[in-house]
Amino acid sequence: MSERIVVVGGGFAGSGVARRLERLAPDADIRLVCPDDYMLYLPLLPQVAAGVLPAPAAVVSLSRRLRRTVVVPGRATGIDLDARRVLVRSITGNPEVLGYDRLVLAPGSVTKVMDVPGLREYGRGCKTLAEAAYLRDHVLGQLEVANTSDDPDERARRCRFVVVGGGYAGVETAANLQLMTTALARRFPRLDPGLVQWHVVQHHDGLMPGLGDRLGEDTRRVLESRGIHVDLGVSLAAVDDESATLSDGRRLPTQTLIWTAGVSPSPLMGHLDAATDHGRLVVGADLSVPGHPEVLAIGDAAAVPDLATGGGAVCPPTAQHASRQAPVAADNVVAGLAGAPTREYRHRDLGMVVDLGGTDAVAKPFGVDLSGAVAAGVTRAYHLWAMRAPAAMARVASAWTLSALHGASAVRLGFLTGASGRLAEFEHTDDYLDPAATRAAIEGLRPRVPRG
Ligand SMILES: Cc1cc2nc3c(=O)[nH]c(=O)nc-3n(C[C@H](O)[C@H](O)[C@H](O)COP(=O)(O)OP(=O)(O)OC[C@H]3O[C@@H](n4cnc5c(N)ncnc54)[C@H](O)[C@@H]3O)c2cc1C
C-alpha cells in the first residue's frame, strides 16, 4: 500500500510541500486539505484592495500548481495525533476523516483580533482575498455616499479612513488605498479631494520596526508627503459605527476602521495535544513535532527555531520563511519514510520589500536600504519572481501595466450586498475541536454495523 501523506493548508508552505513531494515521493498518496482552490499571494492583497490588481491576479490555482495531489476542499477542524487521523469539514459542510502516515501542518495564521470594544463588529481586515475585495467595495461606497450627501459631518466622516497597524501590511494598505481614493475623489463632481483623510495608527514609536529606523523614517516621510496622518505611540481604544477612539483620547469620526495590527497562528494549533509557543506549534529544527516524528509543522502556524539568528529565536511569520521551509519539510517527510536522517532548516533572511503605491516603495534586499523608484522596481521584480508561476506572473505584470497607463480600477463590484465584510465574518475560531471532541466526532462517523 502506498504511504499516505496529508498536508493541511494550501498557502506558501503547504502548496510548496505538496509540489516537492509529488517529485520526491512518486508513489505516495498525497492529500492537501484547503478551503480554497488557490494559493493566495498575500503580499499583493493591498493592491487588490486598491484596485491596482484584479482579485484573480493575486492567486495561483492549486490545480495548476499541483498535478498528482488530491486537493480536499475543506478545513481541518481537529486532529487525533495518537490515532493519526485528521477530521475535515468539507466546503459542503459534511465531515470527512483522513488517515495518514505522515502529516504536514501549514494552516498559516488569522488576523489577531484584540479585545478592543467594537473591533469585531466594526473592524475590517485585509488578510483574505474576500476581505480585500470587500474592503475595496466598502471604501468606494463611502466616497459615493459622501458625494451625494448634503450633511458636511457625514461627508467628512465617510471620507476619513483609519488603518490600525504600522507594519508592512498596514502601511501598504493605507498607501495603496490612499492613492485610489484621492484619484477617485477628483472625479466626483461634489467631492473636494481635500476631504479624503487617511490615518495610520501605530503603537510602536516607528513604522515597520523590523525594517530598521531609516526605512521606517523614509516610509513615514513618503506617507506624510501625501497627506497621510501617521500617529505613532498610540493604539485603538474603541470603535463604533461612526468613530474610532484612540488611546490618547482623540475621537476620529469615521465609518472605516481597517485592522492590520498583527496575526495569530491558526487556532487549530491550540487544539492539539502538543506544546505551543505564543500559539505557534513547537517544532524542532528539522520541523517535526517533539514526540511525533511523523508530524511536521511549518509557516506562520509553527514556531520554527531560527538557527541563522540563534539565541532561541523563532522564524518570523513571513512568506519568505514559509516558502523556504516547504522543501525542507518535504525532504524530511521522505527521509522519515525511508528511515534516513532528516535535515535542519536554516535560512538567513533576505530582507523585505514594501510597496507604497505608484512609484513609491522601500526595500531592504540583502541588508541594503533602498527607497523611491529603485525600491519600487526591486519590489515588483521580487513579487513576480516569488510567484513562480508563469501564468500568474503574466497576469500581474499586465495588470500593473494597465494600472500604470489608465489608473486603478475603481469600480464597486457589489460584493457587500447581503454581507458586512467585517472581521467577525472571517475568524473561524469556533470551528476547531480539541482531541477528545475530535475523537468523539470521528467515532460518530463510523458506519454502524446493522444488528441481527
Ligand atoms: C497584507 C499582507 C502583506 C504581506 N506581505 C508580505 C511580504 O511582503 N513579505 C513576506 O515575506 N510576507 C508577507 N506577508 C506575510 C505572509 O503572507 C505570510 O507569512 C505567509 O502567507 C505565511 O505562509 P503560510 O503558508 O504559513 O500561510 P498562508 O499563506 O496564510 O496559507 C495558509 C493556508 O492554509 C489554509 N488553511 C487555514 N486554515 C486551515 C485549516 N484549518 N485547514 C486547512 N487549510 C487551512 C488557508 O486557506 C491557506 O491556504 C504579508 C501578509 C499580509 C496579510
Q: What pLDDT, in 10s, does the model give residues 161-217?
A: 999 999 999 999 999 999 999 999 998 988 999 999 999 999 999 999 888 888 899
Same domain for 251 and 141, yes or no, is: yes
Say yes or no: CB of residue 326 within 6 Å of ligand 1: no
Report yes or no on 18 lying in a domain.
Answer: yes
Q: Which atom of ligand 1 is nearest to the CA of 431?
A: 41
Say how many Å lie between the CA of residue 109 and the centre of ligand 1: 6
Same domain for 127 and 217, yes or no, is: yes
Same domain for 405 and 362, yes or no, is: yes
Closest Cα to atom 37 of ligand 1: 107
The CA distance from 437 to 79, in Å, is: 10
What is the DSSP code string of 401-436? HHHHHH--------TTTT----GGGG--GGG---HH
Report the residue among 15, 17, 42 best suited for mutation to probe ligand 1: largest number of ligand atoms under 8 A from its CB.
Answer: 42
Say how many Å lie between the CA of residue 152 and the centre of ligand 1: 41
Number of structural domains found in the chain? 2
Q: 178: which residues sit within 8 A by CB, 6+ positions away?
A: 161, 196, 198, 226, 227, 228, 357
Same domain for 206 and 105, yes or no, is: no
Q: Cell numbers at residue 151, please? A: 450633511
The predicted structure's pLDDT at residue 452: 43
Same domain for 293 and 333, yes or no, is: yes
Say how many Å lie between the CA of residue 40 and the centre of ligand 1: 7
**Residue 156 reports pLDDT greater than 90:** yes
Report yes or no on 451 lying in a domain.
Answer: no
Same domain for 208 and 287, yes or no, is: no
Confidence of residue 443 (pLDDT cuts 50, 70, 90): confident
Closest Cα to atom 50 of ligand 1: 43
- Domain region containing 361: 119-261+351-421
Mean pLDDT of the chain: 93
* CA proximity to 149, closest of 255, 6, 269: 255
Say yes or no: CB of residue 325 within 6 Å of ligand 1: no
Confidence of residue 248 (pLDDT cuts 50, 70, 90): very high
Element (H, E) at 147: helix 129-148
Q: What phi, psi does 299 have (nearest 5°)?
A: 80, -160
CATH number of the domain encompassing residue 206: 3.50.50.100
The CA distance from 130 to 222, in Å, is: 29
Averaged pLDDT for residues 396-425: 84
The DSSP output letter for 242 is T
* CA proximity to 161, closest of 239, 104, 248, 71: 239
CATH number of the domain encompassing residue 28: 3.50.50.60
Say yes or no: CB of residue 104 within 6 Å of ligand 1: no
The predicted structure's pLDDT at residue 61: 94
Report yes or no on 280 lying in a domain.
Answer: yes
Say yes or no: CB of residue 208 within 6 Å of ligand 1: no
Same domain for 135 and 156, yes or no, is: yes
Same domain for 45 and 102, yes or no, is: yes
* CA proximity to 253, closest of 270, 239, 271, 233: 239
